[in-house]
Amino acid sequence: MLTDPLFYLVAIPAVALMGLAKGGFAGVGAIAMPLLALLIPPVQAAAILLPLLILQDAVGIWAFRKNWDRQILTLMIPSAAMGILFGYLLAAKVSASGVLAALGFISIVFASYRLWTSRGGRVSTPRNASAILGAALGVASGFTSQIAHAGQPPFQMWVLPKGLPPPILVGTTAIFFGVINWLKVPAYFALGQFTRANLITAAVLTPIAVASTLAGVWLVRRVNAEKFYTLIYSLMILVGAQLLWEAMS
C-alpha cells in the first residue's frame, strides 16, 4: 500500500472526479490519470485506477444490460483490443519518459476536444461511413484507454452520428468500456503492476469511488455543470503540459 500523504491528497479528489464521471459528469474522470502521474509512474497510476473503473463499470452494465447495439460492439471491441495491445507495447518497450509524454499529449488533446465540443464543435463521422474507419477509431479508443483511461473521444466520433436512442447509447457505451477495461487486465499483469501494494491502495480508494459515483448521480440533476467542466478540462490541459515538461526534462 502507498503511504505517502501527498499521494492521497491528490488521489482522493482524482478518484472522486472519476466517480462523478461515472455518475453523470461524463469525461471529467479522465483527469484522474494525469493527476496521479504527477506523483507516481503513469503505468502504476493506471493499474491502481483500473480495478476502480471495473467496479464502477459493473453498475452501468447491469443497469443497461438489455440496451445495446450489437453491430457497434462487434466492430469496436476487437479493434479496441488491438489498440490495447499497442498501448501495452508502448508501455513495455518505451522509457518511462516516453509513456509520460504520451500521457501528457493525450491529456491535452482530450481536454481540448472536450472544451471545444462543449462550445458546439464537432468532429464526427458520416452516418454511413466505412466500417474500416470504425475499426480504426476502435483501435484509437483502445490505445488511449490503455495509456490514459481516456478512450471516449474516438468511440464517440464513431457512435454519436448513429443517432442511437439514449438508453441504447448509454448501454452500448457502458458495455464497451466495461469490456475493454477487463481486456486491459492482462496487459497490466504482464507489466507487473498488479502488485500487493497497488491492489491494497486501490482497495483503500474503493469507498471514495463508490460514494462519488452515487454523488454524481444525485448532483448531475441539481447543478449547472458548465463552469465545472470548463474548470476541470482547463486544469487537465495544464496538468498535461506539466507531464510533457517533465518528460522532456
Residue 220 — pLDDT band, cuts 50, 70, 90? low
* pLDDT recorded at residue 155: 93
Whether 21 shows a pLDDT value over 90: the answer reads: no
Residue 51: C-alpha distances to residues 2, 47, 220 (Å)? 16, 7, 24
**What pLDDT is recorded for position 166?**
79
Residue 160 has pLDDT above 90, yes or no: no
Q: Cβ(22)–Cβ(56) under 8 Å?
A: yes
**Whole-structure pTM value:** 0.88
The pLDDT, as a whole number, for residue 241 is 94
Q: Is the pLDDT of residue 245 over 90?
A: yes
Annotate the chain with three-state secondary structure: CCCCHHHHHHHHHHHHHHHHHHHCCCCHHHHHHHHHHCCCCHHHHHHHHHHHHHHHHHHHHHHCCCCCCHHHHHHHHHHHHHHHHHHHHHHHHCCHHHHHHHHHHHHHHHHHHHHHHHCCCCCCCCCCCCHHHHHHHHHHHHHHHHHHCCCHHHHHHHHHHHCCCHHHHHHHHHHHHHHHHHHHHHHHHHCCCCCHHHHHHHHHHHHHHHHHHHHHHHHCCCCCCHHHHHHHHHHHHHHHHHHHHHHHC
Listed in sequence order, the residues at least 6 apart from 107 whose beta carbon sits closer than 8 Å to its beta carbon are 30, 31, 33, 34, 148, 150, 236, 237, 239, 240, 243
Q: Average pLDDT for residues 199-222, to the nearest whole number?
A: 85
User: What local confidence, expressed as pLDDT, does residue 125 receive?
Assistant: 66
pLDDT of the residue at 146: 95
Average pLDDT, the chain: 89
Higher pLDDT, 46 or 25: 46
At 126, the pLDDT band (50, 70, 90 cuts) reads: low
What pLDDT shows up at residue 239? 94
pLDDT tens, 54-82? 988 887 788 778 889 999 999 999 999 99
pLDDT confidence tier of residue 163, bands split at 50, 70 and 90: confident
Where does the pLDDT of residue 127 fall: very low under 50, low under 70, confident under 90, or very high at 90 and above? low
Q: What confidence score (pLDDT) does residue 141 get?
A: 96
Contacts of 174 (CB under 8 A, 6+ apart): 57, 60, 61, 63, 64
